[in-house]
Every structure is written in C-alpha cells, then in structure tokens.
C-alpha cells in the first residue's frame, strides 16, 4: 500500500503530473524505455517497511524507506524532476484520501511525516551499444504512516 500512497501524493501534484503523466512505476520501469527524449518517469523502490510495536503488540503506524528515482533524458531534466518530487514529499504531513487497499477498499490514510534521507545523481551508461545515456536523480525517503492492524482471531 505504500506505493499507492506515494503514487497518489505524487500524481496529485499538477507540476509532476504535467511532466510524467501516469509514468510512476513500482520497482522497475517497462523494459522498453521511452523513445521520446522529452519523456520522463519516476520509479519507486521499497527498501524496507516495518510495522511499529508496543508492549501490547502491533500498533496502527508503520515506517518505510522508499527510493525514488527520477529519470530524464539529460541531467538537468532528471534534477528538475527530482526537485519537483522533493518539494512535494519533503516534510509532508496530512491525509491521503482514496488510497486503494489490498482488499480493494478505498480508505484515507494519515501520513505522519515524510523525510528526505539521501539525495544523489546517477548517470547510466548506454545499453546495447547505443549512444543514449540514461540520467537518474535518486533519493531515499522515510515515510511514517498510519496502517491497519490485522486482527488475529
């Protein structure tokens, strides 16, 4: 569900939506890279996700670390897309409405805090003897959020 929550947050930003449309992917982008040099996209990678516990058991919050990769046809495009993502996510606190759960229900979830952990720039070498370089501005973010607690009966 963390992917759906972040997708919704990113897609609600008009500036990000104008740049990537619906090209926000989980774990990897489609094998065929965008051929239009103007196309950019975002890939979300879940690094870790942990429910929070107290002495009585699991509580209704969790935390996750997600890597966000902003891809562009040039370093300037990757960096400017990263800045839009950073501006949208860094320090965000609030609710995200209509997030689809694994059970197919639409729920609202509170995001207690989003924090940027590590920004960085990666330049990918051409593949398949191509002269097309890939540019990726990557960051890790920490997400502290509300989650459902399973009932064991």
**pTM for this predicted structure:** 0.79
The mean predicted confidence, pLDDT, of the chain is 79
**Are 3 and 44 within 8 A, CB to CB?**
yes
Burial class from Cβ neighbours inside 10 Å (0-12, 13-18, 19+) for residue 6 reads buried
Where is mean pLDDT largest: 7-16, 45-54, 97-106, 143-152? Answer: 7-16
Percentage of residues of the chain with pLDDT beyond 90: 17
Of 129 and 61, more confident = 61
**Are 72 and 135 within 8 A, CB to CB?**
yes
Domains held by the chain: number: 1
Pairing of strands 106-124, 94-100: antiparallel
- 57-72: strand order across its sheet: 24-26, 41-54, 57-72, 134-146, 106-124, 94-100
Backbone angles phi, psi at 99, to 5 degrees: -95, 130
- Report yes or no on 153 lying in a domain: no
Pairing of strands 41-54, 24-26: parallel
Give the CA distances from residue 62 to residues 77, 102, 110, in Å, rounded to whole numbers and listed in that order. Answer: 33, 16, 11
- Report yes or no on 69 lying in a domain: yes
**Spatial CB neighbours of 36, under 8 Å, sequence gap ≥ 6:** none
Structural domain that includes position 24:
2-146
CA–CA separation, 100 and 56 (whole Å): 28
DSSP 37: T
- Report yes or no on 151 lying in a domain: no
Question: Which CATH number goes with the domain that contains 119?
Answer: 3.30.2000.30
- Report yes or no on 65 lying in a domain: yes
- Report yes or no on 68 lying in a domain: yes
- Report yes or no on 96 lying in a domain: yes
Q: Which of 86-100, 102-116, 128-142 has the lowest mean pLDDT?
A: 102-116
- Report yes or no on 34 lying in a domain: yes
What is the model's pLDDT at position 82?
92
**Nearest Cα to Cα of residue 3 among 23, 20, 26:** 26
Give pLDDT tens digits for 7-54.
Answer: 888 988 999 999 998 889 988 876 655 555 557 899 999 898 877 777
Mean pLDDT calculated for residue range 89-114 = 71
What is the model's pLDDT at position 115?
82
């Amino acid at each position: 569900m963390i992917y759906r929550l972040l997708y919704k947050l990113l897609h609600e930003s008009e500036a990000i939506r104008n740049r990537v449309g619906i090209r926000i992917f989980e774990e990897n982008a489609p094998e065929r890279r965008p051929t239009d040099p103007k196309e950019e996209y975002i890939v979300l990678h879940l690094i870790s996700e942990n429910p929070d516990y107290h002495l009585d058991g699991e509580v209704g919050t969790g935390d996750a670390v997600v890597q966000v990769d902003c891809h562009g046809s040039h370093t300037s495009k990757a960096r400017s897309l990263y800045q839009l993502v950073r501006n949208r996510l860094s320090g965000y606190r609030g609710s995200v409405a209509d997030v689809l759960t694994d059970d197919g229900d639409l729920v609202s979830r509170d995001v207690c805090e989003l924090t940027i952990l590590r920004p960085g720039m990666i330049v990918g070498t051409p593949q398949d003897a191509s002269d097309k370089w890939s540019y990726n501005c990557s960051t890790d973010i920490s997400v502290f959020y509300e989650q459902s607690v399973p009932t064991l009966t």
